[in-house]
Structure 1
């Protein structure tokens, strides 16, 4: 029986001990939880921008570049065709009369480059301007060299394998498949609708067939661009959301950043406490120079001094409650008159600071108190 009771007590103690350990471990897990639930601070966002980490959608840039390209072709197509046709006519008309020497071949390549620049350069300039404008609208002006620094993690096979099967890669794969499906559907739909126009190419002249083919391609391109615009808008909001999620901080990180930027709150409070103590000592050192201390009598105390060369009496010290009691004590120790005047004390305290002069509306009341103090001093002397 005794053995049974002993075993039962031991098991109960062991269970309680395990329960206490479990609770302690649970507390530690909550205490050191690094879950990032806080929104990114302005400093965190600025640091990310310096590193080139911004909310940016490549889909928006791509769709605007494609739109600018096809729109430029639509506007400049006729002039590009005329320029190329004149050059080709000139080349083929003189091919039998031209001696192919080194100089003539060099001149031929030079003319090819000039023609290409005249036809392609305007489109390239439009694409470049549109691309820069779209990027500026998304992220503003940004110049970062950190993104150009070599990162060996990018060539690490293990890191590359992890990125390959990461959530971001799966989302990009889904986006790519969705785009291909949408574009394929519109191409199929367009081909079915325009099936009747295909036999017309057989009976048309080359120039007319090229114009018709160009117009069909551009119409199809603008239909696809319209769909891609909608997809790009969704992608931009997704990139913005994912960027904000990646910049989120834990509560501990917010505290550490606050300490770095604003300083440790405990140190700041100690500094302020020392500053208040120094200011208090200086104020108490000025009280013996005062002519009178006006009191409430228990809650407020204001020490005043007046000399003939002063425009008005000056406040040397002020305080309430415990500070007021200390001011009165120092005044009595240094034989400074302490006068009870509730209306004057209540009127002075909120409107004057240490070193200020008494406001004109209180000259009369302060003068009466000073006159009383001077008469009192004469009697005592």
Structure 2
């Protein structure tokens, strides 16, 4: 029972295949704090670079409408044209800031993981509409942790607002009675100070939360030893089946090799540890190895060769050298030409003796 429990406990690091499958399902490490940080950074950029110009242009348009309110036609066509012109002007003024915020939102996700397009997250699941599952998610440890983080952020942001705005309370009173342009400039400075302070704190929060979310996601992908074995079987095949197939291939190859021994010209041995069967016919560029083996295989080669009246010559140095340097169906290396030529020449001379058989 203990072994079974250990075998199913998720203690092993996930494989690359497991991680890729999770990413394809849309299950990725994502920190909402990082996305929030990018949105706030985008807001700061909008306030710093686009807010003054956008406010000035909007003010100019509104001023024109107010100054010419009595001369604007009130018929339906004129009102439609007025609404169209106002909409186009609003889009022209606020379009770039909204595009910037959109790009920052995308960057907040893209920097954490590659963009993924999957339908897994929108597939209907009973667990999503089950009251019991919803209740469990509502009061799960993760929900409570998110609730605690939300409270901490509210407290931190509130404290920052007080720390930034409280020293400026006298200045804020004078802004109320100032000119509109002065009011906008002063408000912009205060907003930038506040957003800058919040960004400084959010940088630490976002970095810590991303590390935490990444670690939690990695822990969730961990596998048991049984899952690793099953994945290996799926990708690489069952080791027992692969071993059986390898054994059958070796036996089939050995049978083909033994079938070629009777066509050999000579078998060079060591005398029992090594055996290399060579074939040489007139017109061949070099002798060819048709079979080789050690120990039991070498003994079998000798038996087949003797049964087929193939000469068996004992030459231990040459047998070892040929076994190490040539594979089956390959021609012998050039450095062994002389030694093999002497053996084959000896065999040819002995063939002149009728009924001769080397052993």
TM-score (normalised: structure 1): 0.90
Q: Specify the alignment match of 2:4 in structure 1.
A: 31
Higher deviation after alignment, 353-362 or 135-144 = 135-144
Q: Specify the alignment match of 2:240 in structure 1.
A: 266
Q: Structure 2: state its 5+ residue gaps.
A: none
Moved >4 Å (runs of 4+): none
Shift of 1:216: 0.5
Alignment match of 2:313 (pick from 320, 339, 344):
339
Q: Distance in 2 between matches of 1:134 and 1:161?
A: 30
Contact 1:294–1:340 at 8 Å: present in 2 too?
Answer: yes
Higher deviation after alignment, 130-139 or 278-287 = 130-139
- Do structure 1's residue 348 and structure 2's residue 332 form an aligned pair? no
Shift of 1:32: 4.3
Cα deviation code 1:193-216 (max 9, x no counterpart): 223422432553222122101210
Alignment match of 1:168 (pick from 142, 146, 149):
142
Q: Specify the alignment match of 1:376 in structure 2.
A: 350
Alignment match of 1:278 (pick from 252, 258, 268):
252
- Do structure 1's residue 112 and structure 2's residue 86 form an aligned pair? yes
Q: Specify the alignment match of 1:195 in structure 2.
A: 169
Shift of 1:46: 1.5
Q: What do you get for the CA RMSD once the two structures are aligned?
A: 1.4
**Helix, strand or coil at the partner of 2:337:** helix
Q: Specify the alignment match of 1:136 in structure 2.
A: 110
Q: Structure 1: state its 5+ residue gaps.
A: 1-27
Shift of 1:68: 0.9
Contact 1:295–1:338 at 8 Å: present in 2 too?
Answer: yes
**Helix, strand or coil at the partner of 1:379:** coil
Q: Distance in 1 between matches of 2:279 and 2:13?
A: 55
Q: Specify the alignment match of 1:293 in structure 2.
A: 267
Contact 1:288–1:330 at 8 Å: present in 2 too?
Answer: yes
Contact 1:60–1:232 at 8 Å: present in 2 too?
Answer: yes
Q: Distance in 2 between matches of 1:98 and 1:316?
A: 104
TM-score (normalised: structure 2): 0.95
Contact 1:73–1:123 at 8 Å: present in 2 too?
Answer: no
Shift of 1:136: 2.1
Contact 1:292–1:370 at 8 Å: present in 2 too?
Answer: yes
Q: Specify the alignment match of 1:67 in structure 2.
A: 41
Shift of 1:362: 0.5
**Helix, strand or coil at the partner of 1:144:** coil
Q: Specify the alignment match of 1:327 in structure 2.
A: 301
Count of paired positions: 354
- Do structure 1's residue 364 and structure 2's residue 338 form an aligned pair? yes
Q: Distance in 2 between matches of 1:253 and 1:344?
A: 51
Q: Distance in 2 between matches of 1:328 and 1:76?
A: 92
Q: Distance in 2 between matches of 1:327 and 1:39?
A: 50
Contact 2:267–2:310 at 8 Å: present in 1 too?
Answer: yes
Q: Specify the alignment match of 1:13 in structure 2.
A: none
Q: Specify the alignment match of 1:219 in structure 2.
A: 193
Alignment match of 2:276 (pick from 302, 323, 329):
302
Contact 2:164–2:193 at 8 Å: present in 1 too?
Answer: no
Q: Specify the alignment match of 1:91 in structure 2.
A: 65
